[in-house]
Amino acid sequence: MLLTAFVMLGTHFADHAQDGERVPLDPFARVLVFGAGAMLLWRGRHPVAVVSGTVAAVLLYVGAGYPYGPVFLTVVVACFSAVLSGRRHATWAVMGALWAGHALIGHVLYRWLPPSGDGPSSWNQDLVIATWVVALLAVSELARTRREQWARERAERAQAARRRADEERLRIARELHDVLAHSISVINVQAGVGLALLDTDPEQARTALTTIKAKSKEALGEVRQVLDTLRAPGAAPRTPAPGLDRLPELVEQAASAGLTVTVEGRPPELPPGADLAAFRIVQEALTNVVRHSGSREARVRIEQDGGRLRLRVDDDGPATGADAGGSGNGLAGMRERAAALDGTIEAGPRPGGGFRVLAVLPLDVKEDR
């Protein structure tokens, strides 16, 4: 309504400035000006109808011979809003009708329209009107393009943020799965040993319970570290992430679960992300041997081949469960870890029996900062 008041006031001053040149304002003129301004209230819901209505009101105003003034501002606002709303072609047609209608009034209909004795308008004036219309449409199209570009950029940023959040949730889920699956598997085996030997060999049962206590404490610490990243995103972990340098701990933990692990090869220096992935892959592979294999021996082989790290974990089987074929979350998590580093995972039965997990990871991983 402020715009309508401005147009009404400006038209009043234009009437005084063009006294004697144009037809003085009368109630019909004021209704036209007010109606053109009031229609802008609906430009958001009905942009084409509003721009058509304002153009019609302006052509009636000009055709009636009333003074030129800020009434054209209503057309500017209506045109700009209609183009921004995406009604481009309809708006172009309406603005073309504005120019054609003005030219018709100025070159043909002026003979029968007020003010009396008025001559035809100059073609220069029509050229100015055409230039004004083209410039208005060009500015509106530029604003529409920029608005759509900003909307795309906002959508892309939101999508990237959602993707980062999904990746972070997936990373945390993998960490929790790997930590809990390995720890609970060891605890389960030791609990079974403790229960079996509680009456016949209390000292061995005590050792099993001690292992359960130590492993549960370690698991709680690692889970707490993962959950800390949820409470304070981006905060540095309190303890360094595990890597292949902790492979002897895995061997010791597997031994406490009744699995003898032989390690061949020495771990190379790896970036933190690749080192963590390699550690978790070996950990999950050994956990699967404990849970799903009847073999009590496993072999871990570490090799470097053409700038890539090859991790191979073998056991002689046989499988003890229907899900030992590798369709669970553990192998899926290993594949996701390897894929995130541009590596690969091959897991499946060995030709001579047993199961093999082969991970190939690049040695020159570029860490995200």
Please report, for the domain that includes residue 266, its CATH number: 3.30.565.10
In a domain, 222, yes or no: no
Among 237, 314, 247, residue whose Cα is nearest residue 280: 247
Full-model pTM? 0.54
What local confidence, expressed as pLDDT, does residue 104 receive? 93
Reply yes or no on whether the pLDDT at 227 is more than 80. Answer: no
Q: Of 104, 121, 138, which residue constitutes the final position of a domain?
A: 121
Which has more confidence, 215 or 32? 32
In a domain, 204, yes or no: no
Q: Of 68, 95, 121, which residue constitutes the final position of a domain?
A: 121
Q: Of 95, 121, 147, which residue constitutes the final position of a domain?
A: 121
In a domain, 363, yes or no: yes
Reply yes or no on whether the pLDDT at 94 is more than 90. Answer: yes
Asked whether the beta carbons of 316 and 295 are under 8 A apart, the reply is yes
In a domain, 236, yes or no: no
**312 φψ region: left (φ > 0), alpha (ψ -120 to 50), beta (else):** beta
Using one digit for the tens of pLDDT, what is the confidence trace for 169-222?
Answer: 777 777 777 777 767 777 777 787 778 877 788 887 788 788 777 778 777 777
In a domain, 82, yes or no: yes
Burial readout 309-337 (b: 16 or more C-beta within 10 A, e: otherwise): bbbbbbbbbebeeeebebebebbebbbbb
Q: Which residues constitute the domain of residue 277?
A: 245-369
Using one digit for the tens of pLDDT, what is the confidence trace for 125-181?
Answer: 889 989 999 999 999 999 999 999 999 999 999 999 888 888 877 777 777 777 777
What local confidence, expressed as pLDDT, does residue 63 receive? 92
In a domain, 165, yes or no: no
In a domain, 237, yes or no: no
In a domain, 150, yes or no: no
Using one digit for the tens of pLDDT, what is the confidence trace for 250-263?
Answer: 888 888 778 899 99
Task: Tally the domains of the chain.
Answer: 2
